[in-house]
Structure 1
Amino acid sequence: MDIISVNNVGYEIVRLLGKGKGGYSYLAIKDGKEYVLKQIHHEPCSYYQFGDKIQSEINDYKRLSDIGIRIPKMIDVDVKNERILKEYIDGDTIYDLVCRDMMTEDYISQVREMCSLLYPANTNIDYFPTNFVVCNGQIYYIDFECNNYMDEWNFENWGIKYWSKTPEFMQYWNDHRQ
């Protein structure tokens, strides 16, 4: 097993959870407890411009926490090695639920409740369904990425296109299945 350290504390890497625009997220274990360990990467992304990624994660976490969005707790940050340790939220992603025809109207209602907090705070999140996990019937936004509000990228104009088997969702699914 691989060990990755966050501020000189080693965590056993169990498996890759996913790769996003800004980093790789791994399921990690320490003393029998599960965590998400995110390693920032600097791979090019044609449709998104980054500044200081680790500082953006810290700032975005604080912003979303202050707004009151259900997100995993940020436990530790290793700025030098660009690593973040956060709470692991166990459950299926909205993406997986859409794939298995297990979406419910309640999950849409919950994301709309998040929007009712985000929009007045001039904030959008990345509404792509891989960024949401359902745990005990509640959805959690497991990414920390957020940006200033723009109609083009809000849930109603962009995100909703990926929360059911729309043509946009099916195109993504076809392009990314293994």
Structure 2
Amino acid sequence: MQEKTIAVNDKSFLIISLLGKGKGGYSYLVSDVTKRYVLKQIHHEPCAYYQFGNKIEAEINDYNKLNKIGIRIPTMLDVDIKNERILKEYIEGDTIYDLVLSDKMQSDFLEQAHEMCHLLYEANTNIDYFPTNFIVQNEKLFYIDFECNEYMDEWNFENWGIKYWSKTPEFLQYIKEHS
């Protein structure tokens, strides 16, 4: 069987696995033999509930904004504008989604989410609070997506995100629809 590789600015990486598909791209766990990374390949598949502009430009701008705000995110290591690929630090750990699913969610992770919200709301910003976008590594919460938007009450953590951070009817319905 031939190993699959993918390049970022002419540097090849071995694809280990597909981590997930989001509104804007596919994320892969990749390796350069010495270290693991996440490679996001932008896609242009339609999304009925979200409007995109230039996705690669938005990723770069959102990354810079979240860094400036002080949100714990993976480091963006390289961007291949031509092929619409982003190489970022791999944060190993369980997602909040997996922790909720396995009844291992801790109140400290919610407290850390609220601390992030405090910084974000002061900067008039929301992020995508869906629990697959958060990983816990060494008891610290990381937002592993770079998507952020102008703050709206409807999409803040307290009104939308929190509905998926425990086994709520919304969380259970999501599992039912995506299993």
User: Which interval holds the TM-score relative to the shorter structure?
Assistant: over 0.9
Of the three residues 46, 68, 84, the one matched with 1:44 is: 46
Show CA shifts across 1:27-81 (max 9, x none). 0000320000000000000000000000000000000000000000000000000
Would you say 1:136 and 2:115 are equivalent positions?
Answer: no
- Distance (Å, rounded) in 2 between the aligned partners of 1:31 and 1:94: 28
Letter in 2 for 1:148: E
- Distance (Å, rounded) in 2 between the aligned partners of 1:9 and 1:127: 32
Q: What residue in structure 2 maps to residue 169 of structure 1? A: 171
Q: What residue in structure 1 maps to residue 101 of structure 2? A: 99
- Distance (Å, rounded) in 1 between the aligned partners of 2:141 and 2:103: 17
C-alpha RMSD over aligned residues: 0.4
Write out the 4+ residue segments of structure 1 that deviate beyond 4 Å after TM superposition.
Answer: none
- Distance (Å, rounded) in 2 between the aligned partners of 1:108 and 1:64: 19
In structure 2, stretches of 5+ residues that fail to align are none
Q: What residue in structure 2 maps to residue 20 of structure 1? A: 22
Taking structure 2 as the reference length, the TM-score comes to 0.98
Of the three residues 83, 86, 91, the one matched with 1:84 is: 86
- Distance (Å, rounded) in 1 between the aligned partners of 2:93 and 2:125: 25
Letter in 2 for 1:156: E
How many residues align structurally? 177
Q: How does 1:48-67 map to 2 (within 5 A)?
A: 48-67=50-69
Show CA shifts across 1:106-128 (max 9, x none). 00000000001000100000000
SS class of match (2:136): strand
Q: What residue in structure 2 maps to residue 122 of structure 1? A: 124
- Distance (Å, rounded) in 2 between the aligned partners of 1:2 and 1:149: 40
SS class of match (1:152): helix
SS class of match (2:39): strand
Q: What residue in structure 1 maps to residue 149 of structure 2? A: 147
- Distance (Å, rounded) in 1 between the aligned partners of 2:174 and 2:125: 25
Letter in 1 for 2:151: Y
Letter in 1 for 2:99: L
- Distance (Å, rounded) in 1 between the aligned partners of 2:157 and 2:105: 16
- Distance (Å, rounded) in 2 between the aligned partners of 1:21 and 1:67: 23
> 1:141 deviation in Å?
0.1
- Distance (Å, rounded) in 1 between the aligned partners of 2:39 and 2:118: 30
Give me the identity figure in percent: 70
- Distance (Å, rounded) in 2 between the aligned partners of 1:50 and 1:96: 28
